[in-house]
Amino acid sequence: MALDRKPVPNDLSAFWMPFTANRQFKKAPRMLVGASGMFYHTADGREVLDGTAGLWCCNAGHCRPRITQAIQEQAAELDYAPAFQMGHPKAFELASALRDMAPEGMEHVFFTNSGSESVETALKIAIAYHRARGEGARTRLIGRERGYHGVNFGGISVGGIVNNRKMFGTLLGGVDHLPHTHLPDQNAFTRGQPEHGAHLADDLERIVALHGAETIAAVIVEPMAGSTGVLMPPKGYLERLREICTKHGILLIFDEVITGFGRLGSAFAADHFDVMPDMMTVAKGLTNGVIPMGAVLTTPAIHDAFMQGPEHVIELFHGYTYSGNPIAAAAGLATLETYREEGLFENAASLASYWEDALHSLKDQPHVIDIRNMGLVGAIELEPIAGDPTRRAFGAFLAAYEKNLMIRTTGDIIALSPPLIIGKAEIDRIVETLSEVLRTLD
Ligand code: PMP
């Protein structure tokens, strides 16, 4: 459908854009000026199908009236209130709603403003928890290669992405990494969870032997690695990790910033894989991406360890000006109600096998070396151009955008995570467009 063209700003120089090739972008900017449901509207008057739910966050689709209205009403009633030694109802209501949606055992909610802040918060809580119990030597943090945990210093330290680390000095000390679980030789084109790789969790035993369990606070992993290419956990892997952590008194943190809120067809990946962490980090889909907000969920065992001293003393010296911000909390409540009332997680689950077949129908297209999927998330990995990695997939991104489809790429991987309101016709359109795009790439 042709839409009205919209003006774009003349001056693009001031905004230093994040994770963007600024100079290239500003020569040919791609401007989004509106959105509705499954679609973005571009300044040049096109409707673009959102194959990525924004940045994995707009799980209920765009500009949902209920969320918009909740924000407007809250902004008019109570725009801001601190949560330091003060309260306001919406933050408490959202914490309860989130606890009720979360896997059993995740009972306490600490609010942040983003996934990165949720990660920092969880890492700090882990260290402080051990200290509160008299195990102050447990300060080491274990991440995983190809893990993405946001961009703050803790997150890039436990994260395993070279480009996110190498510009920024020595990072946090006392961090070690598990190997990633991507085994393309054995697992390529697996539908759902790969068969091979559970043994890679045993590397945690090596790390424990090297440093001593008494020095390790926590292991943090994405149950499904998202930003580094949609890597599913091999069958049995998360279970092994859980077992080893429990055996050694190490906390297990699931970073569910992407997997939370229905992406895999269950509310959270912990439910989906039936493996319970000690803490979960969330953001993105918590407010449908509309207002920045994140949260850390913990078990009572962790929370209660802080609730021991004199009652008038602040238990955790941590928090943000906007923790539990009323407008964000109102957006969160409206979002969770939308997920529940529209059965969006169930929609994701019921479309999962259609999505799987649709994606895997691209198996024989040029350059495709792997396809991965689960719930309503997927990845198509392309053979990199020798000496110029990322160019082929970025070419696919540009070509898809020209054909009115928004995809996301990471390295030479196309990542797909459409809003959970999607239907079969839109899945077909994504796959048809991609099939045309793949045939045009050099
Ligand atoms: N953790 C994971 C698993 C993520 O995918 C992301 C963002 N893609 C983050 C943390 C960081 O979230 P934010 O960009 O909101 O800081």
3-state SS, one letter per residue, for 289-311: CCCCCEEEEECHHHHHHCCCCCC
Can you name the residues that pair with 413 across neighbouring β-strands? 381, 410
**Residues 37-64: pLDDT tens digits?**
999 999 999 999 999 999 999 999 999 9
**375 and 262 inside one domain:** no
Rounded Cα distance, 18 and 399, in Å: 22
- Structure tokens of 430? 């994504």
pLDDT for the residue 418: 98
**81 and 107 inside one domain:** yes
**Residues 215-257: pLDDT tens digits?**
999 999 999 999 999 999 999 999 999 999 999 999 999 999 9
Rounded Cα distance, 57 and 247, in Å: 35
Give the residue whose CA is nearest to atom 12 of ligand 1: 115
- Structure tokens of 236? 């049995």
List of residues 6+ apart from 247 with CB closer than 8 A: none
**263 and 347 inside one domain:** no
**Residues 176-217: pLDDT tens digits?**
999 999 999 999 999 999 999 999 999 999 999 999 999 999
> Is the confidence at residue 133, as pLDDT, over 90?
yes
**287 and 185 inside one domain:** yes
Q: E-assigned strands of 387-435?
A: 405-406, 408-410, 413-416
**Residues 318-334: pLDDT tens digits?**
999 999 999 999 999 99
pLDDT band at 15 (very low <50, low <70, confident <90, very high): very high
Task: Give the nearest ligand 1 atom to 147 CA.
Answer: 3
pLDDT for the residue 91: 98
Last residue of a domain, one of 341, 359, 393: 341
- Structure tokens of 381? 């990995």
Q: Is residue 11 part of a domain?
A: no
Query: Strand, helix or coil at 123?
Result: helix
pLDDT for the residue 442: 85
> Is the confidence at residue 124, as pLDDT, over 80?
yes
pLDDT for the residue 214: 98
Q: Please name the amino acid found at residue 276.
A: M
- Structure tokens of 336? 């969770």
Q: Does the CB atom of residue 257 touch ligand 1 within 6 A?
A: yes
Q: How far is the CA of 220 from the centre of ligand 1 (A)?
A: 13
255 phi and psi angles, rounded to 5 deg: -85, 100
What burial class does residue 4 get, using C-beta atoms within 10 Å of its C-beta: 0-12 exposed, 13-18 middle, 19+ buried?
A: exposed
pLDDT for the residue 52: 98
How much is the ipTM here?
Answer: 0.99
**86 and 161 inside one domain:** yes
Contact by Cβ (8 Å): 422, 38 = yes
Rounded Cα distance, 236 and 231, in Å: 14
State the chain's mean pLDDT as an integer: 97
Strands 405-406 and 32-36, how do they pair?
unpaired
Q: Does the CB atom of residue 115 touch ligand 1 within 6 A?
A: yes
Question: What does the pLDDT average to over 415-428?
Answer: 98
Rounded Cα distance, 324 and 65, in Å: 22
> Is the confidence at residue 2, as pLDDT, over 90?
no
pLDDT band at 268 (very low <50, low <70, confident <90, very high): very high
pLDDT band at 121 (very low <50, low <70, confident <90, very high): very high
Range of 371's domain?
Answer: 22-60+343-440
Q: Does the CB atom of residue 116 touch ligand 1 within 6 A?
A: yes
Number of domains in the chain: 2
When computed from its CA atoms, the radius of gyration of the chain, rounded to whole angstroms, is: 22
Task: Give the nearest ligand 1 atom to 292 CA.
Answer: 15
Question: What does the pLDDT average to over 278-300?
Answer: 98
231-254 burial: b if 16+ Cβ within 10 Å, else e: bbbbbebbebbbebbeebebbbbb
Strands 39-42 and 47-50, how do they pair?
antiparallel
> Is the confidence at residue 11, as pLDDT, over 80?
yes
> Is the confidence at residue 273, as pLDDT, over 90?
yes
Q: Does the CB atom of residue 222 touch ligand 1 within 6 A?
A: yes
Q: Is residue 5 part of a domain?
A: no
Q: Is residue 15 part of a domain?
A: no
